[in-house]
A = this chain, B = another copy of it.
């Protein structure tokens, strides 16, 4: 069967991760890349043997050779490119957030439905094998009913006032920073693992470093600037946030996120306390699921193609003890997405096991409520 032709917009940190993973999918070929920083795009294309480089995301979306668009542009370009791609009849795998607000993301869901597009959003953390396993065990009833949850997502790449990123600029990134960038991942884990919706939130957003040195030349994510000219800018968005959540079954949860936590790198954790047992998962040791008990010793369950629930075994692609990493989680998501695409092409029934634009829209609604809650200092219902 002919390979599926992919076009990718945005060749910064996460775009390159997409390209690396796409190489591992036998039925897929990257036909084109685009970046407003054309030099960056050309470098990636040259290194990875990609034939075509477009000067803009719009040009790439318009390219008839592109069947699936991977949208790794900065946040403020997400909505228009996603919209254009859907309207052009393409399937889309987008980085989060889908858009800058829930009205836009609702529009994208509508367009995806209308055009019968397959859509995906890169909530990749749910694709570690034992996160899939935790969700399967909740569905199976092992946990009982969820009573409470807790978690955090900590990083330190914005620790110094000399650290800068477009994520700190509301005109590019949107009204919120860390609660959007990191918080949305945690909320997605809650949604996925518990199967429950967040229906009400109380948020506090805070700017630990209210003034930063912005380099006059641009910077890439996760890179450190050395010397160079800069200007002092006021920072209006959060680099710390805290969030109380209430789920649709009445369960309560609490979340903390921060990007100035020295020594914490990609420290994402979720703990779920149920009526029968507890689960804890930490991205610091992503291959193990902790299962807590009252009446016996606690368990550490490792990813396993043998011991996991039948529907989640395929995500443990190495024998137990050969640690899977971040690349492998993204691979699992992409494999599900392209598996669905191939099923559709082959006329087989398509099952949406991956996060799609509906998922992304729900995340926007939670985020919107969090921003509103912070503004008013009150509990706020999540729309939708």
Contact = CB atoms under 8 A, between A and B. Distances in A.
A258 B273 contact: yes
Contact of A318 (B152, B260, B286, B326): B326
A230 interface: no
A26 B157 CA distance: 30
Given A252-B240, A292-B263, A296-B299, A26 B13 contact: no
Contacts of A71: none
B286 A263 contact: no
A148 B263 contact: no
Given A206-B252, A306-B224, A278 B263 contact: yes
Given A23-B24, A323-B286, A325-B324, A296 B292 contact: no
A285 interface: yes
A115 interface: no
Contact of A378 (B23, B49, B156, B377): B377
A322 interface: yes
Contacts of A319: 13, 157, 221-222, 265-266
B148 A265 contact: no
Interface string A321-340: 11111111000000000000
Contacts of A352: none
A293 interface: yes
A270 interface: no
Contacts of A379: 377
B263 A322 contact: no
A86 interface: no
A287 to B, nearest CB: 8
Contacts of A283: 321, 323
A240 B327 contact: no
A140 interface: no
A264 to B, nearest CB: 6
A147 B159 CA distance: 11
A295 B301 CA distance: 10
A377 to B, nearest CB: 6
Given A23-B23, A204-B244, A327 B326 contact: no
Given A204-B252, A266-B321, A148 B258 contact: yes
Nearest to A128: B323
Nearest to A146: B208
A63 interface: no
Contact of A292 (B206, B252, B261): B261
B263 A277 contact: yes
Contact of A20 (B24, B291, B301): B24
A276 to B, nearest CB: 8
Contacts of A221: 319
Most B C-beta atoms less than 10 A away, residue of A24, A221, A278, A307: A278
A324 B265 CA distance: 13
Most B C-beta atoms less than 10 A away, residue of A47, A267, A302, A327: A327
Interface of A: 13, 17, 20, 23-24, 26-27, 47-49, 147-148, 150, 152, 154-157, 159-160, 202, 204, 206, 208, 221-222, 224, 240, 242, 244, 252, 254-256, 258, 260-267, 271, 273-274, 276-278, 283-286, 289-302, 306-307, 318-328, 377-379
Closest CB pairs A-B (n = 9): A263-B292, A265-B321, A325-B325, A266-B321, A297-B301, A297-B299, A222-B319, A322-B326, A242-B254
17 contacts: A156-B294, A204-B244, A208-B252, A222-B319, A242-B254, A258-B273, A261-B271, A263-B292, A263-B293, A264-B278, A266-B321, A283-B321, A289-B297, A297-B300, A318-B326, A323-B323, A324-B327
